[in-house]
């Protein structure tokens, strides 16, 4: 009996080694020898191309391990390739930085576009394992509706033309959300139900809808009324397309100071502006991206569609926050532009352009404009300067 057990253990160990799995890991180790034979048969697989010295790879490693264990339940394998050893294999797959994550379906690769925390990896890969639009029955509706943080279910008759609209939206947004369709639901006779694990738990879109109005409904309701923003959900807010209002705080007391009142404003303006908390102790440097000084608390709004920035100047108050937000929505507030001051004298042969006089000089419809973008430390720019001045003298007083 002991001999049989020993043989069995040896066999198990050999099997694990052949599969490229360490005994204490659910992540497969891939090499040039076993890559195709392991990856090509799989309907869905995630592969990380990494370097052991890479800081981002080290940060990802524990999250990747957790995700691998969780995804075993869904029969979705996760693997990794050490690019310091398998250089040719990584080059073959176009790896240019670390870590690079790729999703494989029967050997065909596509980029992984999710966040790099365990829950986000699991959510992304589970979505990839589902059809864009899943058929849901009354029996599994409750389970399906809780299968991800946000789940969209159409309650529509089989012959409804709205099914085609829902399917189009599902195809375009299946990386971001789980979509299903059913004929019966206790939540509505006919319409779209957005289930979510935050705020009020669900939202219902009744009546007629188009592809655009359905997308708007999803955008407005798929993020919390007010949440903490960070690397894991930043992309979600960028993709939502709504103006993003940041409240920077450095202590729990600062967070609480205006939190309740800002959350009330966020609820009032739901679907028009997204509001977020941002921890200045971790992400204070982001204030510069909104043209804000690193002084807390602080508040600013970003138009995520065109990059315009609206910092709140001076001391923060709920009245000023409301005034700025309403002004941004009404289009009565000018965006902030970082700019050097306009030179007191700008009559030379080469005009100095800064952000605040750019339109006046460069977009002058009466003249053709040649503009040089340079850096003072740049050697080539220094070499060009005298020639550029001479060209300026030649055309001074003309329409150029």
- Per DSSP, the three-state class of 202 is strand
Helix then strand count (H, E) for the chain reads 14, 15
- What is the number of alpha carbons within 13 Å of residue 144 lying toward its C-beta? 22
Question: Which structure tokens are listed for 376?
Answer: 């003072």
Which one of the listed residues 57, 90, 378, 381 is annotated catalytic? 57
Measured in degrees and rounded to the nearest 5, phi and psi for residue 81 equal: -130, 125
Other Cβ atoms closer than 10 A to 83: 23
**CA torsion sign, 64 to 68 to 70 to 74?**
positive
Helix residue ranges, H only, the chain:
2-19, 35-39, 55-71, 87-92, 118-129, 141-145, 162-173, 211-221, 234-240, 252-268, 280-283, 318-330, 358-362, 379-395
Question: Which structure tokens are listed for 174?
Answer: 């299946």
378 catalytic? Reply is no
CA–CA separation, 361 and 350 (whole Å): 11
CA–CA separation, 301 and 335 (whole Å): 10
Which one of the listed residues 54, 83, 90, 378 is annotated catalytic? 54
Q: Look-up: residue for tokens 């937000």?
A: 325
Other Cβ atoms closer than 10 A to 279: 16
Residues with a catalytic annotation lie at: 54, 57
């Amino acid at each position: 009996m002991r001999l049989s057990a020993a043989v069995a253990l040896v066999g198990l160990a050999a099997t694990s080694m052949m599969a490229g799995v360490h005994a204490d890991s659910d992540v497969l180790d891939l090499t040039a020898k076993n890559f195709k034979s392991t990856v090509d048969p799989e309907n869905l697989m995630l592969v990380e191309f990494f370097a052991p010295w890479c800081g981002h790879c080290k940060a990802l490693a524990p999250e990747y391990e957790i995700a691998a264990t969780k995804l075993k339940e869904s029969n979705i394998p996760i693997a990794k390739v050490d690019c310091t050893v398998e250089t040719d294999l990584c080059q073959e797959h176009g790896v240019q930085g670390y870590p690079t994550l790729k999703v494989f379906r029967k050997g065909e690769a596509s980029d992984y576009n999710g966040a790099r925390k365990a829950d986000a990896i699991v959510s992304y890969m589970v979505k990839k394992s589902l059809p864009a639009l899943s058929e849901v029955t009354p029996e599994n509706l409750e389970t399906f509706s809780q299968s991800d943080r946000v789940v969209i279910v159409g309650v529509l008759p089989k012959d409804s033309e709205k099914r085609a609209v829902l399917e189009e939206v599902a195809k375009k947004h299946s990386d971001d959300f789980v979509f299903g369709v059913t004929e019966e639901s206790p939540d509505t006779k006919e319409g779209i139900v957005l289930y979510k694990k935050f705020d009020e738990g669900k939202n219902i879109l009744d009546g007629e809808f188009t592809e655009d109005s359905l997308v708007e409904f999803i955008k407005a309701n798929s993020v919390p009324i007010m949440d903490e923003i960070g690397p894991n959900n930043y992309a979600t807010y960028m993709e939502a397309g709504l103006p993003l209002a940041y409240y920077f705080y450095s202590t729990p007391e600062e967070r609480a100071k205006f939190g309740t009142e800002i959350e009330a404003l966020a609820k009032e303006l739901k679907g028009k502006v997204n509001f977020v908390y941002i921890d200045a102790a971790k992400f204070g440097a982001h204030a510069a991206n909104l043209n804000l000084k690193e002084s807390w608390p602080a508040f600013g709004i970003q138009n995520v569609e065109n990059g315009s920035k609206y910092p709140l100047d001076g001391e923060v108050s709920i009245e000023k926050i409301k005034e700025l937000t309403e002004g941004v929505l009404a289009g009565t507030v000018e965006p902030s532009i970082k700019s050097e001051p306009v030179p007191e004298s700008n009559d030379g042969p080469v005009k100095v352009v800064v952000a605040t006089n750019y339109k006046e000089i460069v977009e002058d419809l009466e003249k053709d404009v040649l503009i040089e973008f340079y850096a003072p430390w740049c050697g080539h720019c220094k070499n060009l300067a005298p020639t550029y001045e001479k060209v300026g003298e030649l055309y001074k007083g003309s329409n150029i």
